[in-house]
Amino acid sequence: MSPSPDAVAPPPVIVLVRPQLGENIGKAARAMLNFGLTRMRLVAPRDGWPNPAAGPAAAGADGVLADAEVFPTLAEAVADCSAVYATTVRKRGVTKPVVGPDEAARAIHALPAQSALVFGPERSGLETDDVALADAILTVPINPEFGSLNLAQAVILCAYEWSRHHGHGRSSLVQPTVEDILPPASQAELDGLIAQIEGLLEPAGYFRHTGRAVTSRRTLRAMLTKPGWNHLEVRTMRGVLSALGKGPRQG
Amino acid sequence: MSPSPDAVAPPPVIVLVRPQLGENIGKAARAMLNFGLTRMRLVAPRDGWPNPAAGPAAAGADGVLADAEVFPTLAEAVADCSAVYATTVRKRGVTKPVVGPDEAARAIHALPAQSALVFGPERSGLETDDVALADAILTVPINPEFGSLNLAQAVILCAYEWSRHHGHGRSSLVQPTVEDILPPASQAELDGLIAQIEGLLEPAGYFRHTGRAVTSRRTLRAMLTKPGWNHLEVRTMRGVLSALGKGPRQG
């Protein structure tokens, strides 16, 4: 018998990018723990960490705060994650799949690897460069005439959906494909691939139009994130790039 | 033929019983409006009504507060309602059906009459006499070791579930989806890309192990098919390959 998907699908990590108020970090921790999520990661919290305002707002979810990990960049915070969801209410000119909390929860439970749910700063939301790191955009379908979801509310809806689907996959339902398909490579592996391709393109003058260089790099990253290549595929692509980098053989 | 349920199922009224803080009434209004609910009823609010602390916390949902109706008792507040759900996290010695937000939302959409979702005071929750008026108990399935759902969070989860089930197939709530996303490039475009990459790899000796050449070509094709790149992305990748094919620039 194959194990059920949940036996190998770890709960998602909740990543707060540049959170502003300690109080909101505490509220997010409380929202998480209400639905059984415990792993919080903080990217460059504005007021440093730990933050004395977080504890009281966590209303008892102190363990989540005590175990929170801090990273300087989002790339480092999701380096070990195979599926990264960027939550945003704003439309982006980025060609990535857009899912709701329901669909994201199903996918997270079906993936036998680490997933991350990424939330932006309270006021401004995620930057385009943050979204570029993600595999998909998670948008809560909201009243178009009144979109006013705060950080803790966005977290609690995602946590609630995760918990709502938790265990549905444990029944006798057979999902044979999950076992056979390798998960997407980790963010770190993907970063290695992107660094290699950029290292080859730089001397070739690909980024020489400096005005477009930032956009070009972002486009490349988005394109290479889109396939969800597994680690074998990433390795193959790196072999291709090595061959291309050497150029035609002599003789 | 019966009309579709939503054609005659009005959105539920949200009833706050003896709410304590104006701020929490405002937050509840905000949570409601985020998911398209607008009818609030207040039963004997502790500090009277209107309450100056409610407006700022509503973050723009002032219309919900302005239209809020005040009743002296819960019985009067739900007198016109055909289905009354009492939300509580605590177990009650009352023999009533217990449903989750998901099940309640389905039932509300299926009932061609007014429903009410009833929430108790922040600190103590609904009294047994309040629960006795209800047709069913609505309980959010929560972490048994950490039940700490505040009023606005309970409201938002119920409102979210109502909107999630609202007219599947309708467009009243924003679901930015694939309309912005270009379709995958045609097979011919993809073939062009594959031919280009093979044309570069051949002289580089990538396929020199003839025993593996067929497999390598097949793997490459599968990998490049997997992303579903649109024609802009295919064009970008061809530009990348052109740059790589030229190698480092002189001077």
Q: Which residues of chain B have pLDDT under 70?
A: 1-7, 90-94, 167-183, 210, 249-251
Contacts of A147 in chain B (CB under 8 A): 34, 174
C-alpha torsion A198→A200→A202→A205, nearest 10 = -130
Residue A251: predicted pLDDT: 46
Q: How far is CA A88 from CA A52, A106, B55, B240, in A?
A: 28, 19, 26, 30
Nearest CA in chain B to A95: B181
Contacts of B173 in chain A (CB under 8 A): 141-144
Residue A151: predicted pLDDT: 95
| pTM of the entire predicted model | 0.74
The residue with greater pLDDT, A197 or B171, is: A197
- Domains observed in chain A: 5-176 (3.40.1280.10), 184-246 (no CATH)
Residue A15 to residue A81: CA distance in whole angstroms: 11
State whether A205 and B249 contact (CB < 8 Å): yes
Residue A168: predicted pLDDT: 52
State whether A157 and B153 contact (CB < 8 Å): no
B199 touches chain A (CB under 8 A): no
Evaluate if residue A249 carries a pLDDT over 60: yes
Contacts with B, A 200-219, CB within 8 Å = 200-201, 203-206, 219
State whether B163 and A141 contact (CB < 8 Å): yes
Evaluate if residue A93 carries a pLDDT over 60: yes
**pLDDT tens digits for range A40-77:** 999 999 999 999 999 999 999 999 999 999 999 999 99
The residue with greater pLDDT, B153 or A89, is: B153
Give the gap in angstroms from C-alpha B149 to the nearest C-alpha of chain A. 7
Residue A116: predicted pLDDT: 97
Contacts with A, B 62-101, CB within 8 Å = none
B60 touches chain A (CB under 8 A): yes
Q: Among A193, A199, A215, A74, which residue's Cα sits nearest to residue A134? A: A74
Q: Are A77 and A45 in contact (CB under 8 A)?
A: no
Give the gap in angstroms from C-alpha B163 to the nearest C-alpha of chain A. 8
The residue with greater pLDDT, A179 or A72, is: A72
Closest partner residue to B236 among A153, A164, A219, by Cβ?
A219
Give the gap in angstroms from C-alpha A3 to the nearest C-alpha of chain B. 24
State whether B243 and A153 contact (CB < 8 Å): no
Contacts of B223 in chain A (CB under 8 A): 227, 229, 233, 236-237
Look up residue A245 and give its two tokens: 């980098």
Residue A169: predicted pLDDT: 41
Contacts of B178 in chain A (CB under 8 A): 97-98
Residue B13 to residue B81: CA distance in whole angstroms: 9
Amino acid letter for position A29: A
B173 touches chain A (CB under 8 A): yes
Measured in degrees and rounded to the nearest 5, phi and psi for residue B85 equal -110, 120
Residue B169: predicted pLDDT: 39
Residue B247: predicted pLDDT: 74
Size of interface A-B (CB pairs under 8 A): 159
Residue A1: predicted pLDDT: 39
Look up residue A243 and give its two tokens: 């061959």
Nearest CA in chain A to B102: A164
State whether A236 and B223 contact (CB < 8 Å): yes
State whether A206 and B233 contact (CB < 8 Å): no
The residue written with tokens 């706050």 in the block is B16
Helix/strand/coil percentages in chain A, nearest 5: 45, 10, 40
Q: Are B155 and B36 in contact (CB under 8 A)?
A: no
Highest mean pLDDT among A108-112, A244-248, B124-128, B153-157: B153-157
Contacts of B220 in chain A (CB under 8 A): 236, 240
- The pLDDT of A126-149, averaged and rounded, is 90
Give Cα A249 distance to the centre of its chain: 41
**DSSP state, residue B96:** -
Closest partner residue to B181 among A60, A95, A204, by Cβ?
A95
A143 touches chain B (CB under 8 A): yes
B225 touches chain A (CB under 8 A): no
Whether cis (ω within 30° of 0) applies to the bond prior to A112 is: no
- The pLDDT of A2-12, averaged and rounded, is 66
How many CB atoms within 10 Å of residue B183?
9
Q: Of all residues in chain A, what percent carry a pLDDT higher than 70?
A: 88
Q: Among B82, B89, B106, B77, which residue's Cα sits nearest to residue B14? A: B77
Evaluate if residue A109 carries a pLDDT over 80: yes
